[in-house]
């Protein structure tokens, strides 16, 4: 890092007590961070720890509610991503932000196209794009369409974009998630090259092994707080994991009232959906809650969607009470009693513009209609009964679903499926965006459903939730089942070890 | 909840205001005969708009309805004046069959639209743009480009053909005697009111109607809830096509002929009326009542400006401005709605 030191002895980027609140949650709580020029600073933490919010604030996509950002010692306020780019700060998001219909070169200069007398200066653009790409070891022509490039190549385009803008800080959000090992290795070489030019790098990753390979410094975020910062050489994986899972909130363990049925209600054998998950097997028994743990992107939601008929699988078999089960649509799955409560209630669970009543009866309307005409009184009664059963507060069934809080929205979705007499319920992140009191309430309801004889699968990225709720825990990693644990022997550390790719915790 | 609060009352209020102001400013506007004339003039557009509202609630669009009016119209007229049919069924029977043919032809084009949209996943705009062009071409092909219907004096079946045309005219141009209305009540207006009432009932009170709103409000949530999204979409295009078919039959009856160029730009008038009536092009929001008020608003405006002697070019400009205002209003309502929702969400989360 020869020249880098000359820039100044202090950090290139410093966050001081940065706080960001969203309705109902504090995403970042007085977070400090200090990133030195010419070094790679890893940012680790569980899902929802606040990493993406932090990146968005660095990128100018969101503004902090309190605290300040210092760039090379001077306070900066980014009103928009444009300001951050001008100041030399580039963020490469996991979903790359290239325009697929434009060439690599056009993408590199998007928003700052070189012009001569108002006309695009294509020769200069081509030359500079070529220089930047060559500096990154890219072997493709700048004229190629972005959509024709591999993910690894597209990342190089993004990095080249940062280079032509004279970036001083580059933040990478899970850059290796979609890369092969070889590609990841090449990317690391380029990242090191960037550091050699004195550029500071923020590297967000789940993979501790990678973090160890590339980063000099590490910061752990948990529940929106910075809980740990250190030089990476000075800390073990086990210690990092402990910082990641240590929690202030613990939920009371909810045990089953009786032993589950012996015969599985749902059995999944070797289920595969190409490009999403491979050879997944699990069994759900009546009276039992199975937790499906894993990192975001491990394939848990994809498995759930296949089981619920929302997507098709490519291989494997499923059995419902021993009978073959291969749903071609959610309709068919619902008819067989299998339902899915999606993670994103707003876009998949509810029709926000409709009332609670209309949402609750959406899946069962034929029961409340005669020759296609809705019997309004019976519909109202059913909706009122079922919303009372899930303890919707306030119990206003004519209220528009979009105006409800997250917890109440979840209850409306639940009421819909209880009304449909579903007995295999798949909850995907059931308490995301829900306040703690409602969380506990929902946990109790889920347990009560299991005790009433339903078979339940709970997907959750929140380890305490899985640990409190599940009778058995199946852990997925990179599209495969990494292991299964009985609730009795499960600890957060043990689950995370299985979930993290390449972790070698003691 | 079907429509944001303001939209639900805003358009009827504007319409009422417009009627009152016109009544004061324009002599003759408030006469019963003028008011029934407005209803008559509105009826074709009102019927097509009702169908358009179904499609637009699912976040679709149907550009083919104008061409369907032409296509279904020439088939109606051809059936009505076909020698074989007249021999077999007589003039009244031919009129009935012609009506069925017209509506069925419209529904068939709608079935094609809906099938491609729902099962092949092509954007509704493109699909219906294609059938708009093709149906117009088919209408011209069938007729050789000239209107069909009124027989030559040399035609040996001239009398029967005229009788058949007159039979259908009792629907398309007929008047129902009504106390206090010397001119009687125009039959097409009656048809429109009946269709709007039925259409409104289906939207609000039936399972299918509920599914139409659900699909437009959130297609993925509807699918995951077991709603047969494809079938629902398909049905809305069939309804839209059938409504255009009804309009075609009324038009043939009224004019006593079916022209291949009939119905030009009717699709845009219908979309305009739907939007003015509070139907959201984003889907999920719209009512039959809105279709009626939207069509009436345009009708009243045209009539008032006519009576005032405003040149038609200015009328077009006025209509354009009103459409733009209606869409701005829609966008504005959406934003207000989102704000209200966010506030309610915050309140719920905080408390």
Partners of B214 on chain A (C-beta within 8 Å) are 351, 354, 358, 362
Q: How many CB pairs under 8 A join A and B?
A: 106
Percent of chain A with pLDDT over 70: 95
Predicted local distance difference test score (pLDDT) of residue A406: 80
Q: Name the domain boundary from A364, A385, A420.
A: A420
Give A344's strand partners.
Answer: none
In this structure, the answer to whether residues A330 and A385 fall within a common structural domain is no
Closest CA to B55 of B70, B65, B69, B45: B65
The listed range with the strongest mean pLDDT (A108-122, A267-281, A492-506) is A267-281
DSSP A140: S
Closest CA to A211 of A14, A41, A92: A41
Average pLDDT over residues A130-141: 89
pLDDT in tens, B59-77: 999 999 999 999 999 999 9
In a domain, A388, yes or no: yes
pLDDT in tens, A426-447: 999 998 777 767 788 889 999 9
- On whether any CB of chain B is under 8 Å from the CB of A362, the answer is yes
In a domain, A251, yes or no: no
Q: Which residue of B has its CA nearest to A310?
A: B224
Is residue B351 over pLDDT 50?
no
In a domain, B313, yes or no: yes
In a domain, B212, yes or no: yes
- C-alpha–C-alpha distance, residues A214 and A184, integer Å: 11
- On whether any CB of chain B is under 8 Å from the CB of A395, the answer is no
- C-alpha–C-alpha distance, residues A456 and A266, integer Å: 10
pLDDT in tens, A103-122: 999 999 888 788 888 888 88
Predicted local distance difference test score (pLDDT) of residue B341: 61
Average pLDDT over residues B11-16: 80
- On whether any CB of chain A is under 8 Å from the CB of B223, the answer is yes
In order of A178, A213, A495, the CA distances from A327 in angstroms are 29, 44, 31
Q: Do A403 and B206 touch (CB under 8 A)?
A: no
- C-alpha–C-alpha distance, residues B278 and B326, integer Å: 8
Q: Where are the alpha helices (DSSP H) in A300-350?
A: 300-307, 330-335
- Cα B61 to its chain centre, rounded Å, is 13
What is the 3 state secondary structure string of A208-241?
Answer: HHHHHHHCCEEEEEECCEEEEEEEHHHCCHHHHH
- C-alpha–C-alpha distance, residues A294 and A484, integer Å: 11
pLDDT in tens, A347-389: 899 999 899 999 999 999 999 999 999 999 999 999 999 999 9
Q: What is the ipTM, given to two decimal places?
A: 0.82
Contact B322, B294 (CB under 8 A): no
- Cα of A322 to nearest chain B Cα, Å: 24
In a domain, B252, yes or no: yes
Number of residues that make up chain A: 506
Contact A395, A408 (CB under 8 A): no
Residue A74: CATH number of its domain: 3.40.50.300
- C-alpha–C-alpha distance, residues B67 and B265, integer Å: 8
- C-alpha–C-alpha distance, residues B231 and B229, integer Å: 6
Predicted local distance difference test score (pLDDT) of residue A116: 81
In order of B116, B124, B256, the CA distances from B119 in angstroms are 6, 12, 38
Q: Could you write out the DSSP letters of every residue in B319-350?
A: HHHHHHHHHHHHHHHHHHHHHHHHHHHHHHHH
In this structure, the answer to whether residues A446 and A327 fall within a common structural domain is yes
Average pLDDT over residues B329-351: 62
Question: What is the radius of gyration, based on Cα positions, of chain B?
Answer: 21
Is residue A313 over pLDDT 50?
yes
CB atoms within 10 A of CB A491: 12
- Cα of B199 to nearest chain A Cα, Å: 13
Report which of residues B322 and B266 the model is more confident about.
B266
Closest CA to B109 of B139, B141, B86: B139
Predicted local distance difference test score (pLDDT) of residue B106: 98
Mean pLDDT taken over chain B:
90
Cis previous bond, A376, omega within 30: no
Partners of A377 on chain B (C-beta within 8 Å) are none
In this structure, the answer to whether residues A82 and A8 fall within a common structural domain is yes
In a domain, B321, yes or no: yes
Contact B260, B67 (CB under 8 A): no
- On whether any CB of chain A is under 8 Å from the CB of B200, the answer is no
Cα-Cα-Cα-Cα dihedral of A344, A346, A351, A357, to 10°? 90
Contact B214, A362 (CB under 8 A): yes
In this structure, the answer to whether residues A430 and A500 fall within a common structural domain is yes
Q: Could you write out the DSSP letters of every residue in A154-190?
A: HHHHHHHHHHHTT-SEEEEESTTTT--HHHHHHHHHH
- C-alpha–C-alpha distance, residues A258 and B318, integer Å: 73
Q: Name the domain boundary from A420, A443, A477.
A: A420
The total number of structural domains that make up chain A = 4
Q: Is residue A504 very low, low, confident or very high in pLDDT (cuts 50, 70, 90)?
A: very low
Average pLDDT over residues A480-500: 88
Contact A495, A280 (CB under 8 A): no
Predicted local distance difference test score (pLDDT) of residue A506: 38
Q: Do B218 and A365 touch (CB under 8 A)?
A: no
In a domain, A107, yes or no: yes
Partners of B210 on chain A (C-beta within 8 Å) are 358, 362, 365, 374
Predicted local distance difference test score (pLDDT) of residue A5: 41
Burial of B134 (0-12, 13-18, 19+ CB in 10 A): middle
- C-alpha–C-alpha distance, residues B349 and A84, integer Å: 32
Predicted local distance difference test score (pLDDT) of residue A209: 83
Is residue B350 over pLDDT 60?
no
Report which of residues A396 and B114 the model is more confident about.
B114
Predicted local distance difference test score (pLDDT) of residue B342: 62
Cα-Cα-Cα-Cα dihedral of A261, A264, A266, A270, to 10°? 150
Residue B150: CATH number of its domain: 1.10.3470
In this structure, the answer to whether residues A463 and A416 fall within a common structural domain is no
- Cα of B348 to nearest chain A Cα, Å: 5
Q: Do A374 and B345 touch (CB under 8 A)?
A: no
- C-alpha–C-alpha distance, residues B42 and B297, integer Å: 9
Q: Do B207 and A374 touch (CB under 8 A)?
A: yes
In this structure, the answer to whether residues A428 and A401 fall within a common structural domain is no
Which among B205, B208, B224 has the least Cβ separation from residue A342? B224
Is residue A3 over pLDDT 50?
no
pLDDT in tens, B47-63: 999 999 999 999 999 99
Q: Is residue A7 very low, low, confident or very high in pLDDT (cuts 50, 70, 90)?
A: very low
> Which residue segment(s) compose the domain that B48 sits in?
5-338
Is residue B347 over pLDDT 60?
no
pLDDT in tens, A188-207: 999 999 999 999 999 998 77
Q: Is residue A245 very low, low, confident or very high in pLDDT (cuts 50, 70, 90)?
A: confident
Predicted local distance difference test score (pLDDT) of residue A4: 40
- C-alpha–C-alpha distance, residues A171 and A193, integer Å: 15
- On whether any CB of chain B is under 8 Å from the CB of A375, the answer is no
Contact A397, A356 (CB under 8 A): yes
> Which residue segment(s) compose the domain that A110 sits in?
98-151
Cα-Cα-Cα-Cα dihedral of B232, B237, B241, B247, to 10°? 80
Q: Do B206 and A372 touch (CB under 8 A)?
A: yes
pLDDT in tens, A31-55: 999 999 999 999 998 777 888 889 9
Burial of A139 (0-12, 13-18, 19+ CB in 10 A): exposed
pLDDT in tens, B177-225: 988 888 889 999 999 999 999 999 999 999 999 999 999 999 999 999 9
What is the 3 state secondary structure string of A336-402?
Answer: CCEEEECCCHHHHHCCCCCEHHHHHCCCCHHHHEECCEECHHHHHHHHHHHHHHCCCCCCCCCCEHH
Report which of residues A475 and A393 the model is more confident about.
A475
In a domain, A412, yes or no: yes
Lowest mean pLDDT among A230-234, A250-254, A466-470, B212-216: A250-254
The total number of structural domains that make up chain B = 1
Indicate the helix (H) or strand (E) that contains A288.
none
- On whether any CB of chain A is under 8 Å from the CB of B310, the answer is no
Mutate to test the interface with B, among A344, A351, A367 (most CBs of B within 10 A): A351
How many CA atoms does the CB half-sphere of A185 hold within 13 Å?
3
Average pLDDT over residues A61-71: 92
In this structure, the answer to whether residues A447 and A494 fall within a common structural domain is yes
In this structure, the answer to whether residues A499 and A427 fall within a common structural domain is yes
In a domain, B344, yes or no: no
Contact A264, A283 (CB under 8 A): yes
pLDDT in tens, B237-262: 999 999 999 999 999 999 999 999 99
In this structure, the answer to whether residues A145 and A231 fall within a common structural domain is no
- C-alpha–C-alpha distance, residues A495 and A292, integer Å: 10
> Whole-angstrom distance between the N-terminal and C-terminal Cα of chain B?
24
In a domain, B202, yes or no: yes
In a domain, A56, yes or no: yes
Is residue A259 over pLDDT 60?
yes
Crossing angle for the helix pair B229-255 and B65-80, to the nearest 10 degrees: 50
In a domain, B269, yes or no: yes
Predicted local distance difference test score (pLDDT) of residue A69: 94
Contact B166, B155 (CB under 8 A): no
Average pLDDT over residues B94-110: 97
Mutate to test the interface with B, among A362, A414, A418, A422 (most CBs of B within 10 A): A362
In this structure, the answer to whether residues A355 and A491 fall within a common structural domain is no
- On whether any CB of chain A is under 8 Å from the CB of B335, the answer is no
Report which of residues A118 and A211 the model is more confident about.
A211
- On whether any CB of chain B is under 8 Å from the CB of A147, the answer is no
- Cα of B127 to nearest chain A Cα, Å: 24
- C-alpha–C-alpha distance, residues B133 and A360, integer Å: 43
Q: Could you write out the DSSP letters of every residue in B279-328?
A: --TTSS---HHHHHHHHHHHHHHHHHHHHTT--HHHHHHHHHHHHHHHHH
Q: Name the domain boundary from A391, A420, A449.
A: A420
Predicted local distance difference test score (pLDDT) of residue A253: 77
Predicted local distance difference test score (pLDDT) of residue A2: 41
In this structure, the answer to whether residues A416 and A385 fall within a common structural domain is yes
Is residue A8 over pLDDT 70?
no
Q: Is residue B344 very low, low, confident or very high in pLDDT (cuts 50, 70, 90)?
A: low
In this structure, the answer to whether residues A83 and A188 fall within a common structural domain is yes
Number of residues that make up chain B: 351
Closest CA to B65 of B243, B195, B307, B215: B243
């Amino acid at each position: 890092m020869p020249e880098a030191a000359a820039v100044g002895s202090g950090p290139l980027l410093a966050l001081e007590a940065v706080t960001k609140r969203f309705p109902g949650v504090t995403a970042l709580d007085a977070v400090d961070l200090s990133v030195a020029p010419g070094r790679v600073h890893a940012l680790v933490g569980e899902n929802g720890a606040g990493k993406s919010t932090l990146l968005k604030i660095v990128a100018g996509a969101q503004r902090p509610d309190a605290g300040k950002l210092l760039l090379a010692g001077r306070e900066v306020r980014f009103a928009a991503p444009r300001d951050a780019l001008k100041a030399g700060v580039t963020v490469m998001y996991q979903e790359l932000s290239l325009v697929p219909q434009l060439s690599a070169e056009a993408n590199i200069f998007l928003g700052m196209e070189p012009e001569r007398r108002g006309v695009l200066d294509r020769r200069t653009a081509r030359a500079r794009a070529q220089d930047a790409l060559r500096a990154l070891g890219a072997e493709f022509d700048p004229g190629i369409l972005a959509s024709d490039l591999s993910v690894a190549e597209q990342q190089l385009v993004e990095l080249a974009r940062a280079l032509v803008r004279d970036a001083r800080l580059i933040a990478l959000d899970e850059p290796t998630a979609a890369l092969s090992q070889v590609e990841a290795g090449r990317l690391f070489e380029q990242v090191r090259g960037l550091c050699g030019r004195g550029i500071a790098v923020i590297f967000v990753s789940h993979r501790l092994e990678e973090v160890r390979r590339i980063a000099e410094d590490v910061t752990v975020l948990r529940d929106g707080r910075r809980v740990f910062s250190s030089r990476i050489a000075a800390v073990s994986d086990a210690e990092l994991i402990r910082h990641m899972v240590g929690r202030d909130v613990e939920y009371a363990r909810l045990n089953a009232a009786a032993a589950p049925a012996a015969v599985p209600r749902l059995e999944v054998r070797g289920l595969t959906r190409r490009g999403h998950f491979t050879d997944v097997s699990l069994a759900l028994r009546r009276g039992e809650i199975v937790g499906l743990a894993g990192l975001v992107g491990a394939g848990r939601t994809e498995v759930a969607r296949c089981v619920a008929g929302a997507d098709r699988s490519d291989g494997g078999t499923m059995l419902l009470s021993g009978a073959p089960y291969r749903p071609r649509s959610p309709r068919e799955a619902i008819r067989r009693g299998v339902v899915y409560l999606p993670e994103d209630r707003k876009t998949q669970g509810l029709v926000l513009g409709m009332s609670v009543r209309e949402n609750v009866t959406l899946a069962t309307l034929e029961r409340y209609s005669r020759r296609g005409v809705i019997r309004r009184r019976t519909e109202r009664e059913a909706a009122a009964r079922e919303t009372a059963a899930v303890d919707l507060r306030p119990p206003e069934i004519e209220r528009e679903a979009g105006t409800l809080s997250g917890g109440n929205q979840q209850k409306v979705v639940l009421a819909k499926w209880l009304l449909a007499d579903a007995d295999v319920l798949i909850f995907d992140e059931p308490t995301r965006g829900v306040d703690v009191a409602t969380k506990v309430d929902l946990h109790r309801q889920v347990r009560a459903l299991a005790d009433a004889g339903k078979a339940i699968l709970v997907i959750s990225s929140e380890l305490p939730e899985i640990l409190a709720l599940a009778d058995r825990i199946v852990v997925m990693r990179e599209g495969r089942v990494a292991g299964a644990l009985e609730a009795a022997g499960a600890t957060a550390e043990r689950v995370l070890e299985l979930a993290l790719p390449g972790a070698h915790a003691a | 909840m079907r429509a944001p609060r303001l939209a639900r009352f805003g358009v009827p209020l504007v319409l009422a205001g417009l009627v009152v102001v016109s009544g004061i400013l324009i002599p003759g506007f408030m006469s019963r005969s003028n008011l029934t004339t407005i209803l008559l003039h509105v009826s074709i557009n009102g019927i097509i708009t009702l169908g358009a509202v179904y499609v637009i609630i699912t976040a679709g669009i149907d550009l083919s309805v104008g061409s369907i009016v032409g296509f279904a119209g020439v088939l109606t007229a051809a059936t009505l004046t076909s020698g074989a049919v007249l021999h077999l069924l007589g003039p009244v029977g031919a009129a009935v069959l012609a009506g069925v043919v017209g509506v069925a032809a419209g529904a068939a084009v709608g079935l094609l639209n809906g099938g491609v949209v729902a099962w092949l996943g092509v954007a509704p705009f493109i699909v219906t743009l294609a059938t708009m062009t093709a149906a117009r071409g088919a209408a011209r092909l069938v007729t050789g480009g000239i209107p069909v219907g009124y027989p030559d004096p040399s035609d040996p079946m001239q009398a029967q053909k005229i009788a058949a045309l007159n039979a259908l005219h009792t629907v398309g141009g007929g008047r129902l005697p009504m106390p206090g209305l010397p001119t009687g009540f125009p039959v097409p207006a009656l048809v429109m009111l009946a269709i709007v009432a039925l259409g409104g009932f289906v939207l609000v009170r039936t399972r299918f109607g509920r599914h139409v709103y659900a699909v437009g409000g959130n297609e993925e949530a509807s699918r995951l809830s077991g709603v047969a999204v494809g079938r629902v979409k398909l049905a809305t295009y069939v309804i839209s096509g059938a409504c255009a078919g009804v309009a075609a039959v009324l038009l043939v009856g009224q004019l006593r002929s079916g022209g291949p160029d009939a119905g030009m730009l009717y699709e845009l008038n219908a979309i305009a009326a739907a939007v003015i009536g509070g139907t959201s092009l984003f889907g999920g929001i719209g009512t039959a009542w809105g279709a009626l008020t939207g069509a009436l608003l345009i009708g009243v405006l045209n009539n008032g400006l006519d009576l005032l002697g405003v040149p038609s070019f200015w009328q077009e400009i006025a209509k354009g401005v009103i459409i733009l205002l209606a869409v701005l209003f829609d966008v504005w309502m959406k934003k207000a709605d989102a704000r209200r929702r966010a506030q309610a969400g915050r309140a719920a989360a905080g408390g």
